[in-house]
Amino acid sequence: MALVTERDRLRDDVTAIAELTGYNRSSLIPILQEVKAKYRGVDSYAMQLIADVLDIHPVEVYAVATFYAFLQPETEGRYVFRLCRTLSCDFAGKELVAKQLEEALGLDFGETSPDGTFTLQWTNCMGMCDQGPAMLVNEQVYNQLNQAKVRAIVDEYRLKAEEHGTQRAPERAR
């Protein structure tokens, strides 16, 4: 019985996606999206592998991965909280929501919990300007946020994390 490494799985996944999308530059973003979704990050090995499979220079892969906010190569938690940081959300009370998120998750913006459950990030406009403050948790949109809604949303994802066997992230005492 052969031992399958994480790198072997990654190579198989990238090749399988390229089989579906094609072995060309137009497949770069779909491959990056799938790798990011499955592995919660796109490390330098993954970028090199994608470049090799698509027969492009690794700098092209890096440039695309770092250009798009949702493709950033850093490893993220299972649940990524992205709060809109635009002016319209600011006027709608974003700062109070941001403070509540930091307290409830025990994280500052740009951080991932030590157990890999939560990541807290800023994001640019989500097109919800009339319904702010707005936030994404993975692909789920939440709007017209207030401190009570944030608390309920964080509690919902803590429960999901516990159901999936990840440890509970500590709350921050401020």
- pLDDT of res. 174: 32
Give the per-residue pLDDT at 19: 92
Full pLDDT tens readout for the chain, 174 residues: 667 788 889 999 999 999 999 999 999 999 998 898 888 778 889 999 999 999 999 999 999 988 876 777 677 888 989 999 888 888 888 999 999 999 999 999 999 999 989 999 998 888 888 988 999 998 899 999 998 999 999 999 999 998 877 544 344 333
> At 123, is the secondary structure helix, strand, or coil?
strand
- Helical segments of the chain, H only: 6-21, 28-39, 44-54, 58-67, 87-91, 94-105, 147-163
pLDDT at position 2: 67
Residue 173 pLDDT: 38
Distance, in Å, from the CA atom of 135 to the CA atom of 105, rounded to the nearest integer, reads 14
The pTM (predicted TM-score) of the whole model is 0.68
Distance of alpha carbon 145 from alpha carbon 79, whole angstroms: 18
Edge-to-edge, what's the strand order for the sheet holding 140-142? 111-112, 118-123, 79-84, 135-137, 140-142
Task: Give SS3 for 43.
Answer: coil
